[in-house]
């Protein structure tokens, strides 16, 4: 109640303060939002997923892959008898052996037929000629590789990894690296410095265990190859150096990806090794021993 005085007369006026408390309570009640909890629970229930036929087929158990079992200091490849581990058939192994002859045949044809050089008559003559050293080292490695691949094609070895012919084949490669380091540089000291590297790599092949096959072998071989190519670059023979790097990279790529192309990488590697060897022979012709 507010009192005012107008001309001596006191008047009263009541101020309205909105609806009563009861009305306000009823009007401000919360209205339900959406369906009830029971309906919402039923509507939000997860429906069972139906597994597709495709998924069930893919979940079938695959046959176990051949595994490596350690016996003493050796690694036994259970897939070696049928060459499952590398995906090679007997036909591919025979082609591996035959294609290994291509580089040697190309070197001999170029040097003795195209260039008209006579056959060497003594070991001293071979040791005094860089091209003859390159050809001789390739010729020494060739029989080990051919025999190894023929034996694998004929399944004469119980294991394709743990056998002496595989070790002889790859040991001969490091022997070739040592000879090429001299034939392409003309420096005996350079070849002697690289000799321990190749000797250690060959020793690892015969020591057995995880470091005697696969990627560790390639990791030791690649530095040896790059080091015997280095003198070509140092002499300024850029054309042959670039060609050697290119063909060498293709050989390495084919070898490492052979299992992804159904075992044909090794044959392709030997075929590409033919122009690679020709580049090395051409580079050695300018070296004086």
Looking up residue 166, the CATH number of its domain turns out to be: 1.20.1070
pLDDT at 104 over 60: yes
Is residue 61 included in any domain, yes or no? Answer: no
Asked whether the whole model's pTM tops 0.85, one would answer no
Is residue 108 included in any domain, yes or no? Answer: yes
What's the confidence (pLDDT) of residue 38? 47
Residue 258 structural domain: 88-284
| Confidence tier at 47 by pLDDT (50, 70, 90) | low
Would you say 78 and 213 are in contact if contact means Cβ atoms under 8 Å apart?
no
| Confidence tier at 161 by pLDDT (50, 70, 90) | confident
User: What's the average model confidence in pLDDT over 181-204?
Assistant: 95
Query: What percent of the chain lies above the pLDDT cut of 70?
Result: 70
β-strands 2-6, 68-71 pairing: unpaired
Is residue 3 included in any domain, yes or no? Answer: no
Cα angle 204, 200, 273; round to 5? 85
Is residue 37 included in any domain, yes or no? Answer: no
> Coil, strand or helix: which one is 283?
helix
Is residue 28 included in any domain, yes or no? Answer: no
Query: In whole numbers, what is the pLDDT of the chain averaged over residues?
Result: 79
Phi-psi region of 166 (alpha: psi -120 to 50; beta: other; left: phi over 0): alpha
What's the confidence (pLDDT) of residue 46? 52
Distance separating alpha carbons of residues 140 and 137, to the nearest angstrom: 5
Would you say 130 and 284 are in contact if contact means Cβ atoms under 8 Å apart?
yes
Alpha helices per DSSP H over the chain: 21-27, 37-43, 53-58, 90-99, 101-108, 123-127, 130-153, 164-183, 188-207, 215-234, 238-256, 265-284
Q: Which carries the bigger pLDDT value, residue 250 or residue 33?
A: 250
Is residue 4 included in any domain, yes or no? Answer: no
Most confidently modeled range among 21-25, 45-49, 83-87, 277-281: 277-281
HSE at residue 169, side-chain half, CA atoms within 13 A, is 22
Query: What percent of the chain lies above the pLDDT cut of 90?
Result: 58
Is residue 66 included in any domain, yes or no? Answer: no
Total count of domains within the chain: 1
What's the confidence (pLDDT) of residue 211? 77
Distance separating alpha carbons of residues 202 and 147, to the nearest angstrom: 19
Taking residue 171's Cβ as centre, other Cβ atoms within 10 Å add up to 21
Distance separating alpha carbons of residues 270 and 95, to the nearest angstrom: 10
């Amino acid at each position: 109640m507010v009192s005012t005085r107008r001309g001596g007369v006191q008047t009263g006026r009541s101020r309205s303060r909105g609806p009563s408390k009861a009305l306000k309570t009823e009007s401000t009640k919360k209205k339900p939002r959406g369906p009830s909890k029971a309906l919402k629970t039923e509507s939000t229930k997860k429906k069972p997923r139906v597994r597709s036929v495709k998924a069930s087929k893919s979940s079938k158990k695959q046959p176990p892959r051949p595994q490596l079992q350690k016996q003493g200091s050796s690694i036994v490849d259970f897939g070696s008898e049928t060459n499952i581990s590398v995906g090679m058939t007997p036909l591919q192994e025979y082609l591996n052996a035959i294609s290994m002859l291509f580089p040697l045949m190309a070197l001999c044809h170029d040097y003795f037929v195209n260039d008209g050089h006579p056959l060497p008559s003594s070991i001293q003559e071979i040791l005094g000629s860089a091209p003859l050293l390159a050809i001789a080292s390739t010729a020494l490695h060739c029989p080990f590789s051919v025999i190894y691949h023929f034996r694998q094609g004929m399944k004469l070895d119980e294991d394709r990894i743990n056998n002496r012919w595989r070790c002889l084949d790859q040991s001969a490669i490091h022997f070739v690296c040592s000879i090429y380091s001299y034939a392409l540089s003309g420096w005996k000291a350079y070849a002697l410095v690289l000799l321990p590297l190749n000797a250690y790599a060959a020793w690892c092949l015969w020591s057995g265990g995880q470091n005697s096959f696969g990627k560790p072998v390639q990791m030791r071989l690649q530095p040896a190859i790059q080091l015997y190519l280095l003198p070509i670059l140092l002499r300024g023979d850029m054309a042959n150096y670039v060609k050697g790097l290119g063909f060498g990279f293709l050989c390495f790529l084919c070898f490492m990806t052979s299992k992804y192309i159904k075992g044909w990488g090794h044959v392709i590697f030997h075929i590409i090794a033919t122009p690679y060897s020709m580049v090395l022979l051409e580079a050695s012709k300018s070296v004086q021993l």
